[in-house]
């Protein structure tokens, strides 16, 4: 990460090539992707047009598939600036792309959002992406999400929301690290273990960590209403928020 790229770009390497290991390392992440898809499917429609959804950080398509499977009438733009991971998603989801329900964008989140018109999107959804951003870049992204959403549009994010209780958060993270070591050493994937540990240090760094109370305040400051955090499990939680009518 540099000042020119204020987000963790490690997924272009070993992690991105073997990202499916995440299902073993963090099984709660798979459930969070399902919850994001289910929440998107419940968004109320006000017209007969397909639901317009932008997904930030589509990765290998785990959450993308959850969104597509949850609702039929949809136009989904999946944004990810890591070609290794997006290439995997394109292979897995080509049927939806062929039907015109799915398109891909290889820009970073902020650049992709800046290209969209005001009030043009029903839902912006994401899973395990915003926590990779530096605090300043994340604030810009949230402001852009608010701008592109239609009135009554929804932001849905399943992500790492650090606990406000720092001691409890530290204990939870230590348990997570122990799981990484057990699984990856047993699988003899020490290079992957090294990269995940480096990535976790980035997640926990002062300029990245997405602490729950501050994250919700950040959404409120951008103009969002109806902000709600649910399904908390360890560091994982689902956050929803609405753009006022």
Tell me whether residue 1 is in a domain.
Answer: no
Reported confidence tier of residue 144, pLDDT bands at 50, 70, 90: very high
What is the predicted pLDDT for the residue at 20? 60
Tell me whether residue 4 is in a domain.
Answer: no
Which strands, in side-by-side order, build the sheet including 225-233? Answer: 102-105, 74-79, 51-56, 121-127, 149-160, 236-242, 225-233
Tell me whether residue 3 is in a domain.
Answer: no
What is the predicted pLDDT for the residue at 6? 53
C-alpha distances (whole Å) from 94 to each of 10, 68, 128, 145 are 25, 12, 23, 27
Helix axes 212-222, 135-148, angle to 10 degrees: 40
pLDDT in tens, 153-201: 999 999 999 999 999 989 998 888 888 888 888 888 888 778 778 877 7
Would the pLDDT of 17 be above 80? Answer: no
Tell me whether residue 169 is in a domain.
Answer: yes
Tell me whether residue 68 is in a domain.
Answer: yes
Task: Please state, in angstroms and rounded to a whole number, the distance separating the CA atoms of residues 109 and 80.
Answer: 7
The predicted model scores a pTM of 0.85
Tell me whether residue 127 is in a domain.
Answer: yes
Tell me whether residue 2 is in a domain.
Answer: no
Phi and psi dihedrals of 91, rounded to 5?
Answer: -65, -40
pLDDT in tens, 65-91: 999 988 889 999 999 999 988 998 999
Looking at the 3D structure of the chain, how many domains does it have?
A: 1
CATH of residue 86's domain is: 3.40.50.150
C-alpha distances (whole Å) from 150 to each of 77, 121, 160, 167 are 16, 6, 26, 40
Task: Please state, in angstroms and rounded to a whole number, the distance separating the CA atoms of residues 241 and 219.
Answer: 8
Q: Which token pair is 145?
A: 């999400």
Selected residue with higher pLDDT from 173 and 26: 173
Proportion of the chain above pLDDT 70, given as a percent: 89
Selected residue with higher pLDDT from 53 and 49: 53
Work out the mean pLDDT of the chain and round it to a whole number: 87
Tell me whether residue 5 is in a domain.
Answer: no
Structural domain of residue 157, as residue ranges? 10-242
What is the predicted pLDDT for the residue at 5? 54
Would the pLDDT of 214 be above 50? Answer: yes
Query: Measured at the alpha carbon of residue 214, what is the angle toward residues 209 and 216, in degrees to the nearest 5?
Result: 115
CA gyration radius for the chain? 17
Strand stretches in 59-144, DSSP E: 74-79, 102-105, 121-127
Residues in the chain: 245
């Amino acid at each position: 990460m540099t000042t020119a790229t204020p987000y963790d770009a490690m997924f272009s390497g070993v992690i991105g090539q073997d990202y499916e290991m995440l299902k073993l390392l963090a099984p709660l992440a798979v459930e969070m992707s399902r919850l994001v898809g289910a929440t998107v499917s419940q968004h109320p429609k006000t017209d007969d047009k397909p639901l317009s959804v932008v997904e930030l950080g589509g990765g290998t398509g785990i959450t993308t598939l959850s969104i597509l499977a949850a609702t039929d009438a949809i136009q989904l733009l999946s944004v990810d600036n890591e070609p290794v991971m997006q290439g995997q998603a394109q292979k897995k989801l080509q049927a939806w792309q062929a039907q015109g329900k799915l398109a891909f964008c290889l820009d970073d989140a902020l650049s992709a959002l800046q290209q969209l018109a005001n009030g043009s999107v029903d839902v912006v959804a994401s899973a395990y992406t915003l926590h990779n951003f530096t605090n300043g870049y994340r604030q810009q992204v949230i402001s852009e999400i608010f701008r592109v959403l239609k009135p009554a549009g929804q932001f849905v994010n399943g992500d790492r929301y650090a606990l406000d209780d720092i001691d409890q958060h530290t204990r939870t993270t230590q348990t997570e690290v122990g799981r990484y070591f057990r699984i990856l050493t047993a699988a003899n994937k020490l290079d992957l273990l090294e990269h995940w540990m480096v990535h976790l240090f980035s997640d926990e760094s002062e300029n990245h960590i997405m602490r729950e109370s501050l994250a919700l305040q950040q959404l409120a400051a951008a103009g969002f209403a109806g902000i709600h955090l649910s399904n908390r499990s360890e560091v994982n939680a689902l956050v929803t928020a609405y753009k006022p009518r």
